[in-house]
């Protein structure tokens, strides 16, 4: 039926490309949130760890707990801890990012209650994305709160708002300046030197000179860096295949799909595929936006995408029931397919549902 093929040799390649952009002492954080960007596969994570990432990072505590249950031993940073997850973070030996006064004080309280010493934490500053993070104005407060506390500051970081934007990007220039100011304040005040980091995948390609002590890469391991030129250095790990369930002949003027989504402009052949919006192929790919490769040719998705099925126009394509239909692969990449639905590789990959079988190609 539907299968997501994972070529781990391509992960090896992407890892090598990323490492080549880094100084030998720069640490690499492998970001594996949201089920490893929808890949939903332990082999992928284990390969990443075997390749040599220094850290893993997830969004929420439950994701980190799952990694521990799967035997992952390396440090795990939790980007967005919530108040009701703080005990879980300590129990699973995860390292929280503390991003505002409230969460920092709540975490200190729990640490005191549990009588833990020297607990590793990370601090995030908001330098311009305006999402999560301490204000740069809080730097002195943060430094004071951490002094003589039971917490050990491992790293200080921030996140760029437009790391893929063509240079010079005024928003990034500003953020980098803010981050350097914060770095200077921390270096001046504290005894132990924390690590500093700012870059995600595109950042590593666009601003390698600002790699500081660590970088945080997620999508690049999957073969994407939000820019066609950078993408061409990488290899897509995942390919999504489906199979034609049925082919219909419809006469000119006949309707296809829910709510009369498509009217045949001529006598047509329509192929139905067993994949729908419940599997992550959202309705925005309908109405000829998304195109599926069948026997090397592009068949547009017609009408509205259903929950479990969708229809493509194969009038001009030679094909039969049971033939393969490819949503994305190395040639027609997930970034290309996502583009057609006004989306991005991140959303497309991370929405791929559990009904799609993951097939691991473990070749070295
Ligand atoms: C998801 C995330 C990353 C990884 O970004 P990519 O673009 O996938 O490399 C890095 N940092 C933070 C804070 C994130 O939330």
Give the domain ranges of the chain. 7-231, 239-361
Determine the topology of domain 7-231 in CATH.
TIM Barrel (3.20.20)
Whether 197 is in the pocket of ligand 1, judged by its Cβ within 6 Å, is: no
In DSSP terms, 120 is beta-bridged to 152
pLDDT-above-70 percentage for the chain: 99
Report pLDDT digits (tens) over 95-144: 999 999 999 999 999 999 999 999 999 999 999 999 999 999 999 999 99
- Region of 322 please: left (phi>0), alpha (psi -120 to 50) or beta: left
Q: How far is CA 25 from CA 154, 195, 213, in A?
A: 16, 11, 7
Q: What is the mean pLDDT of residues 247-260?
A: 98
How many angstroms separate the CA atoms of 167 and 226, rounded?
14
Task: Determine the distance separating the centroid of ligand 1 and the alpha carbon of 37, expressed in angstroms.
Answer: 10
| pLDDT of 151 above 90 | yes
pLDDT-above-90 percentage for the chain: 98
pLDDT bin (cut points 50, 70, 90) of residue 252 is: very high
15, 200, 222, 224: residue to mutate for ligand 1 pocket, most atoms within 8 A of CB: 200
Report pLDDT digits (tens) over 176-207: 999 999 999 999 976 779 999 999 999 999 99
pLDDT recorded at residue 190: 62
CATH of the domain spanning 239-361, picked from 1.10.540.10, 2.70.210.12, 2.60.40.1730, 2.40.37.10 = 2.40.37.10
| pLDDT of 351 above 80 | yes
Q: Which atom of ligand 1 is nearest to the CA of 204?
A: 9
pLDDT recorded at residue 192: 76
Task: Determine the distance separating the centroid of ligand 1 and the alpha carbon of 218, expressed in angstroms.
Answer: 6
pLDDT recorded at residue 353: 97
pLDDT recorded at residue 270: 98
Task: Determine the distance separating the centroid of ligand 1 and the alpha carbon of 125, expressed in angstroms.
Answer: 15
Alpha helices in 190-315 (DSSP H): 201-206, 219-222, 228-231
Q: What is the mean pLDDT of residues 324-346?
A: 97
How many angstroms separate the CA atoms of 268 and 146, rounded?
69
Q: What is the mean pLDDT of residues 279-302?
A: 98
The torsion defined by the Cα of 201, 205, 207 and 211, in degrees rounded to 10, comes to 60
Q: Which atom of ligand 1 is nearest to the CA of 79?
A: 13
15, 35, 60, 79: residue to mutate for ligand 1 pocket, most atoms within 8 A of CB: 79
Q: Which atom of ligand 1 is nearest to the CA of 97?
A: 13
Q: Give the angle 110-115-116 at the CA atoms, nearest 5°.
A: 85
Task: Determine the distance separating the centroid of ligand 1 and the alpha carbon of 73, expressed in angstroms.
Answer: 21
Cβ partners under 8 Å of residue 277, min gap 6: 283, 305, 306, 307
Task: Determine the distance separating the centroid of ligand 1 and the alpha carbon of 33, expressed in angstroms.
Answer: 9
Task: Determine the distance separating the centroid of ligand 1 and the alpha carbon of 152, expressed in angstroms.
Answer: 23
Helix, strand, coil percentages, rounded to 5, for the chain: 35, 25, 40
Q: What is the mean pLDDT of residues 226-233?
A: 97
pLDDT recorded at residue 31: 98
| pLDDT of 38 above 90 | yes
Whether 158 is in the pocket of ligand 1, judged by its Cβ within 6 Å, is: no
Q: Which atom of ligand 1 is nearest to the CA of 220?
A: 9
Q: What is the mean pLDDT of residues 4-31?
A: 98
Cβ partners under 8 Å of residue 332, min gap 6: 291, 293, 298, 326
Q: What is the mean pLDDT of residues 334-349?
A: 98
CA atoms within 13 A on the CB side of 203: 24
Closest CA to 91 of 118, 71, 111: 111
Among protein residues, the one whose CA lies closest to atom 3 of ligand 1:
200
Q: What is the mean pLDDT of residues 85-90?
A: 97
How many angstroms separate the CA atoms of 287 and 285, rounded?
7
Whole-model pTM: value is: 0.97
Asked if domains 7-231 and 239-361 share a fold, the reply is no
The length of the chain in residues reads 364
16 burial via Cβ count (<10 Å: 0-12, 13-18, 19+):
exposed
Q: Which atom of ligand 1 is nearest to the CA of 37?
A: 8
Ramachandran angles phi, psi of 348, nearest 5° = -60, -50
252 burial via Cβ count (<10 Å: 0-12, 13-18, 19+):
exposed
Q: What is the mean pLDDT of residues 235-261?
A: 98
Ramachandran angles phi, psi of 148, nearest 5° = 50, 30
Whether 183 is in the pocket of ligand 1, judged by its Cβ within 6 Å, is: no
**314 or 192: whose pLDDT is higher?**
314
Do 76 and 57 contact (CB within 8 A), yes or no?
A: yes
Whether 290 is in the pocket of ligand 1, judged by its Cβ within 6 Å, is: no
Task: Determine the distance separating the centroid of ligand 1 and the alpha carbon of 215, expressed in angstroms.
Answer: 9
């Amino acid at each position: 039926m539907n299968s997501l093929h994972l070529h781990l040799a391509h992960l090896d390649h992407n890892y090598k490309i990323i490492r080549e952009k880094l100084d030998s002492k720069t640490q690499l954080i492998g970001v594996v949130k949201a089920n490893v960007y929808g890949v939903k596969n332990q082999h992928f994570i284990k390969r990443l760890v075997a390749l040599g990432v220094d850290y893993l990072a997830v969004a929420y505590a439950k994701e980190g707990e799952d990694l521990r249950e799967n035997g992952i031993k390396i440090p795990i940073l939790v980007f967005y801890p919530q108040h009701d997850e703080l005990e879980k973070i300590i129990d699973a030996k995860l390292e929280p990012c503390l991003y505002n006064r409230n969460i920092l004080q709540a975490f200190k309280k729990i640490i005191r209650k549990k009588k833990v010493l020297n607990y590793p934490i990370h601090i995030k500053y908001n330098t311009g994305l305006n999402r999560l993070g301490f204000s740069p104005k809080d730097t002195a407060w943060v430094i004071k709160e951490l002094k003589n506390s039971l917490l050990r500051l491992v790293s200080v970081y921030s996140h760029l708002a437009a790391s893929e934007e063509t240079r010079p990007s005024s928003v990034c220039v500003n953020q980098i300046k803010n981050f350097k100011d914060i770095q200077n304040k921390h270096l001046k005040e504290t005894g132990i030197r924390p690590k500093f980091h700012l870059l995600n995948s595109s950042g590593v390609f666009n601003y390698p000179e600002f790699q500081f002590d660590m970088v945080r890469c997620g999508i690049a391991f999957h073969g994407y860096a939000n820019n066609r030129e950078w993408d061409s250095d990488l290899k897509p790990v995942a390919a999504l295949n489906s199979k034609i369930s049925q082919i219909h002949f419809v006469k000119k003027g006949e309707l296809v799909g829910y709510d009369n989504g498509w009217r045949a402009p001529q006598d047509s052949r329509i192929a139905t595929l067993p994949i729908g919006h419940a599997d992550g192929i959202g309705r925005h790919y309908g109405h000829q936006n998304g195109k599926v490769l069948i026997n090397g040719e592009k068949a547009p998705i017609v009408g509205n995408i259903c929950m479990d099925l969708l229809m493509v126009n194969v009038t001009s394509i030679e094909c039969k029931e049971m033939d393969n239909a490819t949503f994305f692969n190395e040639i027609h990449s997930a970034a290309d397919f996502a583009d057609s639905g006004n989306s991005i590789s991140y959303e497309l990959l991370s929405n791929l549902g559990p009904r799609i079988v993951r097939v691991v190609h473990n070749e070295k």
